[in-house]
Amino acid sequence: MCGIVGIVAKSYVNQTIFDALTVLQHRGQDAAGMVTCEGNKFFLRKDNGLVNEVFRTRHMKRLVGNVGIGHVRYPTAGSSSSAEAQPFYVNSPYGIALAHNGNLTNAEELADKMFRADLRHINTTSDSEVLLNVVAHELQRQGKLKPQAEDMFEAVRRVHERCKGGYAAVAMITGYGMLAFRDPNGIRPLTYGKRETEQGTEYMVASESVALDISGFERVRDIEPGEAIYIDMDGNVSTQQCAEGTQLAPCLFEYVYLARPDSIIDDVHVHNSRMRMGKKLAEKVLRERPDHDIDVIIPIPDTSRTSAMEMAKDLGVMFREGFIKNRYIGRTFIMPGQTQRKKSVRRKLNPIGMEFKDKVVMLVDDSIVRGTTSSQIVEMARDAGAKKVYFASAAPAVKFPNVYGIDMPAAEELIAHGRTDDEVGEEIGCDWMIYQDLDDLKASVTEGNENITAFDTCVFDGQYVAGDIDASYLERLSQARNDDAKGSDDKKVKSNKSSNLCSEID
């Protein structure tokens, strides 16, 4: 899970990209980067850290130009390195910089073929660098001194033929313009918008519409699966479908957890979809326990708040904020290493005792992945005096790893893998465990856009929508992702997103 943004404007774009990246920060807290272009020169700044840590005034002054792209990243398997920070750059042809959200499931094969056939060297373990070199090679083989929009689209067409997995990318071609594209299944989100200025129309592409909102851009639409958009330096926009056999099958986990609630993804308001998740959870509670004894519903901040409020409303019970969140601790789901995650939970959340004492409490979270956080939260609720602790998940049980850009751990580290709902409840220590049904989760989203007829639901049912995964791939992924492989404090594995191209560093 990463966040990307690209802008073609009539004035300097550095501040607008900075602002956009700050509202995409939830998609990656490990590293940030920005490339701008003025004339025929690129200006690059990237490093580990949050957006406001990476970009200081001295850096912003050097990031000149009316065109630029930005990226926020999170590490998915152990320690991180600034060498993995994006955007990446190659000087041939033209000079191209690229930022990427997702994962190429055939990155290892592509890297080998590019070295043997294309004579291109990949310098990091990042599948994003692989993607950049594929784009560069496909542009170079056309041999055009001054590429046009149709040349860009032909290159993307070849990218889709060669690359497998889920991906959304934005690239900047020195002196020519900006190119963005989305995988043929539309797994990872990508949208674009425009704003009118006295100098003319400006354009932005981004992972989520909230990045458009914050900078005054009007959302135009989502990029279609397999589609590419090219905006030249003068602001002329061209779009084209560049893949065959496309389908809109967005990642269902985006709506549950990844996206901000104020975003619109594939014409679905994320906030509204989470409200519907809460309603459907309430319906399931009433089906299973019409005479429930719930006194209060308390969300695990922040993502589950919307679902919990609607659940309480439909059940006719109190909604209360029972946990205070430390805003200076990152999202524990995307922290590398089990030890660090365990330490973070107690620092991140603190219970308000009066909301728990002598009450039957229903805790609501967006999902349960490893169960580490959930078990500690249940323990906190009991320590605060709760008579009973129930636990509801707005998502179905997460039983399988994700391969399209979300760092789900190895299957054996997923608490629901090989366990029933009741067994998960026993593991986390609650008195009743209730999960959202998968069909209800799908309906919560499709009620916002009936044109969505398929989803990437792999983490829930093990069905990989791109049809590119076999048992050997999952075994390699397990070896790369399990906490034992991530190593001790002084020796960890590094990787970019969910790539299986891993190496050990001291």
Strands 388-393 and 360-365: parallel
- DSSP-based three-state secondary structure for 232: strand
3-state secondary structure 2-19: CEEEEEECCCCCHHHHHH
Residue 266 assigned ligand-binding role: no
Alpha-carbon dihedral 174, 34, 16, 67, rounded to 10 degrees: 0
**Cβ 270 vs Cβ 259: under 8 Å:** yes
Residue 201 assigned ligand-binding role: no
Q: Could you give the CA distance from residue 471 to residue 274 in angstroms, rounded to a whole number?
A: 33
**Cβ 31 vs Cβ 61: under 8 Å:** no
- Cα of first residue to Cα of last residue in the chain, in angstroms, is 25
Catalytic site residue from 2, 163, 458, 502: 2
Among residues 457, 371, 456, 373, the alpha carbon closest in space to that of 413 is found at 371
Q: How many CB atoms lie within 10 A of CB 114?
A: 19
37 is catalytic: no
DSSP for 166-212? EEEEEEEETTTEEEEEE-TT--S--EEEEEEETTEEEEEEESSHHHH
Q: Could you give the CA distance from residue 261 to residue 271 in angstroms, rounded to a whole number?
A: 4
Give the 3-state secondary structure percentages of the chain, helix then strand then coil, rounded to 5: 35, 25, 40
**Residue 239: Cβ-neighbour burial (10 angstroms; 0-12, 13-18, 19+):** middle
Tell me the one-letter amino acid at 135: V
**Cβ 447 vs Cβ 279: under 8 Å:** no
Residue 366 assigned ligand-binding role: yes
Q: Could you give the CA distance from residue 92 to residue 141 in angstroms, rounded to a whole number?
A: 11
Q: Could you give the CA distance from residue 131 to residue 111 in angstroms, rounded to a whole number?
A: 9
For 437, the token pair is 């049904």
**Cβ 222 vs Cβ 449: under 8 Å:** no
**Cβ 99 vs Cβ 469: under 8 Å:** no
Burial 37-46 (b: 16+ CB within 10 A, else e): bbeeebbbbb
Binding site: what residues are annotated? 303, 365-366
Binding residues for Mg(2+): 303, 365-366
Instruction: Give the active site residues.
Output: 2
